[in-house]
Structure 1
């Protein structure tokens, strides 16, 4: 038992890097957002919507949300605006998660990797929702954050549309997120940015 617990602590200490892994989004105060902060708010969103998702395994949804960007602790985040054809972000994040999870006991390592695979495949209701909520949280952060003057709000309006159209709840949330984006765009134009 002591070795198992020690292995979990070793992994947890390695996963702490996610707190320093920065994303392209900014907080309302203007500092870069970390991947850990994004994942926390994504989980909070999923938790708040639990009653609006009948038939969905809430624990499974939260597990997927927690794990979905964990591999970024190794190689960092690649913003959507910088992704190019031929880049397989999912494969890179899977490989990074394998590396990050190496200290874990085999059963826990395989559980995390299975969650990542489920998320990437988006073949379960929980994974469809996790992927869509991930996009919505990102759009909302960009609408809330103190973005640089050259921030592309139009890109934000188009970002992740296929994922957010995959479920009626996601589509309703997306409509609200797009309104927030339009308001942020108007504020930026007023400021001259």
Structure 2
């Protein structure tokens, strides 16, 4: 049997993390509904799971943890669309980390440390798992833009430059990116953007 206080604290955190379901991104689902950060994180994990055979030697559990946790801080302050992100000397990242610290307060100390360490690892992108988490994060976003019920003025051409550093960090990511860029180029041409 588990420690009742530990169980309560984990459940309290999970209830607070539910806010991510209501935190909207700038993308749209296929039916034109605003996409939530939770939906993005779910599909990012699905994408990673499906490429497991192409990722030998990676710690898949760690990679999935990074994917699940990478945007968790957005549950409090929201998402900043890539098209609106500016060089802010890390202010957005600091705010998101502080929000994550606040969100993690109900957790037992060991789990607080684990969540924050994984989030920091994702941000630093120096481990193979974090490199893939960041690259697949960008790819999932671009894939969603391709099938989303986007507004008429949606800027498909923006995606052709989006996340290049992250998707170019490994040959597999670059190969996937090439296919996504082909589809994005076609959509941009259809919309008179290229």
Residues 144 and 184 of structure 1 are in contact (CA less than 8 Å); yes or no, is this contact kept in structure 2? no
Q: CA deviation digits over 1:74-95, x for unaligned, max 9?
A: 1000011111222632222111
> Corresponding residue for 2:70?
68
Distance 2:189 2:103 in 1: 42
* Aligned CA-pair RMSD: 1.3
Greater than 3 Å deviation, 4+ residue runs: 186-189
Aligned to 1:27: 29
Answer yes or no: is 1:158 the counterpart of 2:161: yes
The structure 1 residue matched to 2:142, chosen from 133, 139, 142, is 139
Alignment of 1:1-193 (within 5 A): 1-86=3-88, 88=90, 89-189=92-192
Name the TM-score, length of structure 1 as normaliser: 0.95
Q: Secondary structure of 2:63's partner?
A: helix
Could you tell me which runs of 5 or more consecutive residues in structure 2 were left unpaired when the two chains were aligned.
none
Deviation string 1:43-69 (CA, Å, 9 cap, x unpaired) is: 000000011011111111001000000
Q: TM-score, normalised by structure 2?
A: 0.94
Q: Distance in 2 between matches of 1:186 and 1:170?
A: 24
